[in-house]
């Protein structure tokens, strides 16, 4: 609908321009009718309905009336018998044509106005959605700032760790809002851009602090926002878990995040650390990962990567790629 309206030219402001263009369109249709009569020995008067429809859509119903009048004039001269003032046999045809054309003119103009109202409503909705996303991002940023301030305060190490984990999870949710297009009508996110941005936060936060790198190899797939956010939280938990437990004593290493587009899709988070034996699987992070995978109708498998630990998350209900 919106694409069709973009093709249509804006309505001319001058009535003279509208009616002149209307006459040109009707004359062109009359030429087609004449050609049809010459080639097939029949009059295709229905072609004039197109002129009425086109002028009403392009301009207004008054232009449709003008097209009706000019078209009726052509039909009158073609239908009337030489030497008579009125086409007795064609009179019903002219009457039906005028009545239908008047209806077409009103309906066509109303159709364009309805399209314009629908497109305007869609534009307003997009603006409201953008404003909502902006406010949501600001609110999440404020929550992150408050939690970070509390984490720097006089709190126990356990509380500080819990606050830092909460900040990481909120940042994973907030990052999804960055991936929406300015006028995204489907509410979908490119999971590649999202995970690259999310894991970029890990690399930035660990730069010059820990010799651990997060490497992302993800196919570009458009997913619904709720599914993309769930995957982001799963990746956040698994990467955080690997960074905390797989590389003790400032050991260097790499955490790889892999998501290949297939049926079913499989998310893999693996490291080259000390293995799965020391990773806590009963903590809140692991439970959250399990719940998120269950929401996606997925399944989690932990396996030895030799060296390191590999976590496979099978995702069988993800949205179709676009």
Residue 16: strand, helix, or coil: helix
Residue written as token pair 């009359």: 30
Domain-ending residue, one of 120, 140, 163: 120
Indicate the pTM of the whole model: 0.53
**Given 120, 138, 160, which residue is the final one in a domain?**
120
Domain end call among 95, 120, 145: 120
Q: Is residue 105 part of a domain?
A: yes
Residues in the chain: 322
For residue 99, what pLDDT is reported?
A: 92
> What CATH code is carried by the domain that includes residue 276?
3.30.565.10
Which 8-state DSSP code applies to residue 278?
T
Smallest Cα–Cα separation from 48: which of 18, 20, 75, 21?
Answer: 75
Distances (CA, A) of 50 to 1, 122, 251: 20, 29, 76
| Residue 215 in domain | yes
Q: How far apart are CA 203 and CA 63, in angstroms?
A: 64
100 and 211 fall within a common domain: no
Contacts of 132 by beta carbon, 8 Å cutoff, 6+ apart: none
Asked if the structure places residue 156 within a domain, the reply is no
What is the rounded CA–CA span in Å between residue 29 and residue 217? Answer: 59
pLDDT at 29: 92
Q: Note whether 116 and 206 are same-domain residues.
A: no
Q: Are 267 and 231 in contact (CB under 8 A)?
A: yes
Domain count, the chain: 2
Which mean pLDDT values do the consecutive 10-residue runs of the chain (322 residues) have?
Answer: 60 82 92 84 83 89 92 85 64 86 90 81 69 68 79 82 79 64 60 86 73 89 83 86 82 90 85 74 70 84 86 70 41
Q: Which residues contact 207 (CB under 8 A, 6 or more apart)?
A: none
Q: State the Cα–Cα distance between residues 30 and 41, nearest whole angstrom.
A: 15
Give the list of residues 6+ apart from residue 106 with CB closer than 8 angstroms, or none: 56, 61, 64
Residues 193 and 116 in one domain: no
CA distance 95 to 14: 30
- Does residue 271 lie within any of the structural domains? yes
The pLDDT assigned to 320 comes to 45
Q: Does residue 100 lie in a domain region?
A: yes
Q: Per DSSP, what are the bridge partners of residue 216?
A: 257
| Closest by Cα among 269, 247, 279, 265 to 314 | 265
Based on the fold, state whether residues 293 and 201 are members of the same structural domain. Answer: yes
Confirm whether 322 is domain-assigned.
Answer: no
Considering only CA atoms, give the Rg of the chain.
Answer: 34
The Cα–Cα gap between 118 and 115 comes to 5
Confidence (pLDDT) at 258:
93
Note whether residue 254 is domain-resident: yes
Whether 111 and 12 share a structural domain = yes
Does 106 lie in the same domain as 13?
A: yes
- Establish whether the linkage from the previous residue to 264 is cis, with ω within 30° of 0: yes
Segments forming the whole domain that contains residue 107: 2-120
Examine the domain organization and report whether 218 and 302 are in the same domain: yes
Residue 178 in any domain: the answer is no
């Amino acid at each position: 609908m919106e694409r069709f309206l973009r093709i249509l030219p804006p309505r001319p402001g001058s009535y003279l321009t509208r009616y002149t263009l209307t006459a040109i369109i009707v004359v062109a249709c009359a030429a087609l009718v004449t050609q049809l009569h010459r080639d097939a020995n029949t009059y295709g008067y229905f072609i004039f309905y197109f002129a009425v429809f086109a002028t009403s859509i392009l301009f207004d119903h008054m232009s449709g009336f003008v097209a009706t009048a000019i078209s009726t004039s052509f039909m009158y001269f073609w239908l009337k018998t030489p030497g008579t003032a009125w086409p007795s046999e064609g009179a019903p045809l002219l009457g039906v044509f005028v009545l239908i054309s008047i209806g077409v003119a009103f309906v066509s103009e109303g159709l364009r106005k309805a399209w314009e109202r629908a497109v305007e409503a869609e534009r307003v909705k997009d603006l409201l959605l953008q404003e909502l996303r902006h406010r949501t991002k600001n609110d999440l940023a404020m929550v992150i700032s408050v939690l970070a301030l509390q984490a720097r305060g006089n709190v126990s190490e356990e509380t500080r760790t819990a606050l830092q984990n909460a900040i990481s999870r909120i940042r994973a949710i907030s990052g999804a809002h960055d991936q929406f297009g300015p006028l995204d009508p489907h509410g979908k996110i490119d999971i590649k851009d999202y995970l690259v941005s999310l894991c970029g936060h890990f690399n930035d936060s660990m730069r010059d602090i820990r010799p651990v790198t997060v490497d992302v190899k993800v196919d570009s797939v458009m997913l619904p926002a709720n599914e993309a956010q769930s995957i982001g939280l799963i990746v956040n938990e698994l990467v955080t878990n690997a960074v905390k437990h797989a590389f003790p004593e400032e050991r260097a290493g790499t955490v790889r995040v892999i998501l290949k587009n297939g049926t079913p899709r499989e998310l893999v988070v693996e490291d080259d650390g000390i293995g799965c034996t020391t990773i806590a699987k009963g903590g809140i992070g692991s439970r959250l990962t399990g719940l998120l995978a269950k929401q996606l109708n997925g399944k989690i498998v932990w396996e030895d990567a030799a060296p390191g630990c590999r976590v496979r998350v099978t995702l069988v209900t993800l949205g179709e790629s676009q």
